[in-house]
Structure 1
Amino acid sequence: MAFFRVLNQFSKQRLSWALLLAFMIFFELCALGFQHIMMLSPCVNCIYERVAMLGIAGAAIIGLLAPQNGVLRWLGLAGWGYSAYRGLEISAQHVEYQFNPSPFASCDLWVTFPSWLPLDQWAPWMFVASGDCAEVDWIFLSLSMPQWLVIIFAANLIALAFIVLAQFFPSKRGNPIRSL
């Protein structure tokens, strides 16, 4: 109970949302480093995973605006959840392409964004895919990049579940975080 009350109070502070945003910026910078420094070509799924990370970053910005405001906080939580879930879905499919390739199923050749949000035209250096989804060109601690993304998105969903659950445990008077 006390844990959830502390987590509830933490979710109502800008620091929590700023940390989420900082992690997403770090992961986006890593992706750009892989692409532009290590010269690893991103595939279509890589680009969609990148967009999911940006979705989480956008949700963090919404929460960061006014974390005490319940509407904005819940919008941020919903955006975080949707983006993390879609990112997990896409990265799990990406792992499937890499480790169980099928001659009948593969990722698309080009990214498709809605006409009102042509990210690949606005920022081709970040959103144009030129790699192959089935290719494993980077491994760290015996896991490929999409496998790491499965872990990252799943960890986001686990953290989100705790924070959403904590919303139903209102904090007592005072700020328990300051006493920690």
Structure 2
Amino acid sequence: MLQKIKRLSMQRWGWALVVLSCLGLLGTALYFQYGLDMQPCIKCIYIRSAFAGVLLAGVIGLLGAKNTSIRVIALAGMLAAAAFGIQQAYDLLDIEQLLAEGGFFSCSLFAEFPGWLALDKWLPSIFEPTGSCGDTSWQFLGESMAFWSAFALWGYAAVAAVLFLAQFARISDNPYRC
């Protein structure tokens, strides 16, 4: 079973699917921002950067699908970016819950990216926070954007974890073995 999964990770179409799905989700986020005028808060920006990290890992995997080391690096990056995004999405869900219960919360107005990765300075139209945390004006099936972001990131994390474990399986050259 792990051998089949490892073989799948060696094919470029799977990595292309990760890249295309991330581009679609990031494009959707930009549509919400610029098309529907829903301004992103700092947590939204961090979640967006996590999707960009998954996208970057997907591109690395796409370019080096046949190389085991590059695949492992891409999968580790995908898992790390998804985990970061999940944490940010849960933080935002907690903020939404607090505000729904009548509490008060004020999030940071400025992104705190490390100096070597100043996304808010390099691409302010994509990574600069312009809204306040806890806005749940958009919902799908009764859940907020933070919930659906966490859902998508959990999907990426699960796929990356299974593929990462499969990298340690040995592929047999014997055509009579499964």
TM-score by length of structure 1 reads: 0.89
Match of 2:51 in 1: 53
- Aligned-partner Cα distance in 1 for 2:168–2:115: 39
Change (3 A) 1:128 1:171: same
Change (3 A) 1:68 1:120: same
Consecutive unaligned residues in structure 1, runs of 5 or more:
176-180
Match of 1:63 in 2: 61
SS class of match (1:100): helix
- Aligned-partner Cα distance in 2 for 1:122–1:158: 31
RMSD over aligned CA atoms reads 1.7
Q: Match of 2:139, as an amino acid? A: I
Match of 2:32 in 1: 34
Match of 2:163 in 1: 163
SS class of match (2:75): helix
Consecutive unaligned residues in structure 2, runs of 5 or more:
none
> Is residue 128 of structure 1 aligned with residue 120 of structure 2?
no
Q: CA deviation at 1:174?
A: 8.7
Match of 2:23 in 1: 25
- Number of corresponding residues: 172
- Aligned-partner Cα distance in 1 for 2:92–2:162: 27
- Aligned-partner Cα distance in 1 for 2:61–2:123: 26
Percent of residue pairs bearing the same amino acid type: 33
Contact 1:88 / 1:150 at 8 angstroms: preserved in 2?
yes
Please identify runs of 4+ aligned residues in structure 1 that moved more than 4 A.
Answer: none
Contact 1:97 / 1:106 at 8 angstroms: preserved in 2?
no
TM-score by length of structure 2 reads: 0.90
Q: CA deviation at 1:148?
A: 0.4
Match of 1:145 in 2: 145
Q: Match of 2:146, as an amino acid? A: P
- Aligned-partner Cα distance in 1 for 2:161–2:124: 34
